[in-house]
Structure 1
């Protein structure tokens, strides 16, 4: 008889899946194949998948593909040993003031027999038995907490789907929260490069601080938590551009209302275009290589947004290149799109108190990006494997 392990292998996954629902015949299938291969390789006992932009960017048209995506996932051979599941899909885009397009997918292997989820209304843990898909309008579902971010934090956006969904788990008497989060993006490269930090960075900071304080001051018992999703953290564009265009000459093009619509940097020795920037254009002369060289390690000094939370949130060491924005062309899965400055948008972070939950076997938890050479949409999937006591 096999000896009971003293730990539970937990795999946390974050994936902005907006692109894959735009191309269900090719990209969605490629995404599933890469994801299932990773699950097979890592063999977690508990699998938590936090998705953003469920249903795609054109959700009114492509939300219909989400149901088939979930059915295919549940029926796949690689998922059959997970006999328990709780899937939350916020799909009701007609509820404008509530809709977040977030999806929290949790799968528990049959070897895990003592697992409960928190009921936020009943204020008690309830056993997790069987598989349940909670979709559409999930406002009445009590085993999750969900909120859309107040519009005041992002006054430049008329409407958005940004927010969070939190669940609380008890696995073999180890209690922790899992929070799926999606923060606002940079609307314009031109505006993002104006200051350091950018106005968008400041907006994200205010929103995340607001959210963290909400968790600190609510009426629920405090427990360690993992916060993972699309933070939309960007590199310090202002300072990075200075580095990329050292000794280059800038030429501006004005558009409507006499505002800058394009900036072109040319080398002062040979006149070659080094970098072109527009509202939704970011094109370096050596685009892919400069951002993926040495797994992007030289870029980390410009990855400054997480430092605002260094007293309350941690992250395992980043040894991979930026996760966004990759080409949505299925034949160019390893290429960055030339629309935004590549950045580490997709993160898996945690409170210091979670470190007390980790089983120390002398090995560093795996923190990586998957699908490096496969088209996974404009965001690559991030995984974090760890063992909990």
Structure 2
């Protein structure tokens, strides 16, 4: 419903929805529900004025070497003419008509490129479903790539705190560089591009913890049998030694959780550093919404964060500089020029709040 409300409010003529972790953590049991979910969007009354659709869902979890659990849905409004989609096999564009739906391994589908990250990307960690999926379009006579991306998460809060940047941040950097290189190589003519999905970008944990515990006593608790850190506890020096911050492998409890919501967490953006490595290639609109993860999955607590991870802006919409110059910032036909925000800020949406970018593209009509 929140998705439909957003579409109704902004009235876009081209809708691109990117999903990651289709089927959820227990995807073997839940993939059927996920397929019904996609079908319900496709056939909903709210989408009836979108007369063309292209849907790609990588749902074949049995094929472990290629399964990414990525899903991309594209809807084209009946008033939008001359939309073309790229065929990666023949390297040419073709008109889009009707409903085009692919729910399978996707390897033989000519209008999408999908790739799972190679195992050697992170030999020390469990191999996962992370990867990317690309489609290419011509809209208003302008070619552009839409890339659905899912990067590696932080497996342990404790390991994330040991260095700045963390080892996980370095893994994400390598993977993002790989994706940008892949979509910019000469296999297909490079084009302006959007990258959007779950980047798993986290706040720089080491410097954040140092900041949060400035006036606290920090204790490091180690396991008896080894020198391995089991927990980090920061206690306030006065105030009855109240526990300010408690970190374990999958626990992150901060006494003043409101700091992540006050002024949309703006004070913490200084610790959001992972995009800055790529400012020569990609850019992002200003973030004016709270961290998009990890929200409570209790529907009665839609704005509460879970005490599992440090809240962070994991879900983003990034674009190449060549794409940014194509955006129309003062759109006379709409009351909304450009909006970068979350969907369902006051409604439970799962552990991630979906993030959207609404904008108008300059017409390039000849």
Which of 314, 321, 326 in structure 2 is aligned with 1:357? 326
Which of 213, 232, 241 in structure 2 is aligned with 1:271? 241
In 2, the alpha carbon distance for the partners of 1:159 and 1:218 equals 29
Match of 1:324 in 2: 293
Which of 307, 320, 345 in structure 1 is aligned with 2:314? 345
In 1, the alpha carbon distance for the partners of 2:124 and 2:337 equals 41
In 1, the alpha carbon distance for the partners of 2:253 and 2:128 equals 27
In 1, the alpha carbon distance for the partners of 2:227 and 2:297 equals 33
Q: Deviations over 1:285-326 (max 9, x none)?
A: 122x12111111101100001110000000001111100000
Pairwise mapping of residues 1-389 of structure 1 onto structure 2 (< 5 A)? 33-255=1-223, 257-269=226-238, 270-287=240-257, 289-361=258-330, 364-389=337-362
RMSD: 1.2
Deviation at 1:364, TM superposition (A): 5.0
In 1, the alpha carbon distance for the partners of 2:321 and 2:143 equals 14
In 2, the alpha carbon distance for the partners of 1:333 and 1:155 equals 37
In 2, the alpha carbon distance for the partners of 1:172 and 1:247 equals 56
Deviation at 1:88, TM superposition (A): 0.2
Distance 1:180 1:279, change over 3 A: same
How high is the TM-score relative to the length of structure 1?
0.89
In 1, the alpha carbon distance for the partners of 2:246 and 2:345 equals 25
Deviation at 1:268, TM superposition (A): 1.1
Q: Number of matched residues?
A: 356
In 1, the alpha carbon distance for the partners of 2:340 and 2:149 equals 18
In 2, the alpha carbon distance for the partners of 1:351 and 1:55 equals 30
Which of structures 1 and 2 has the larger relative contact order (alpha carbons within 8 angstroms, sep 6+)? Answer: 1
> Is the 2:106–2:114 Cα contact (8 Å) retained in structure 1?
no
Deviation at 1:361, TM superposition (A): 2.1
> Is the 2:86–2:93 Cα contact (8 Å) retained in structure 1?
yes
In 2, the alpha carbon distance for the partners of 1:119 and 1:247 equals 59
Name whichever of 208-217 and 114-123 sits farther off.
Answer: 208-217
Deviation at 1:149, TM superposition (A): 0.7
Deviation at 1:253, TM superposition (A): 2.4
Q: Deviations over 1:197-236 (max 9, x none)?
A: 1111011111111221222223211110001110000001
Match of 1:9 in 2: none
In 2, the alpha carbon distance for the partners of 1:172 and 1:294 equals 37
Gaps of 5+ in 1: 1-32
Deviation at 1:157, TM superposition (A): 2.1
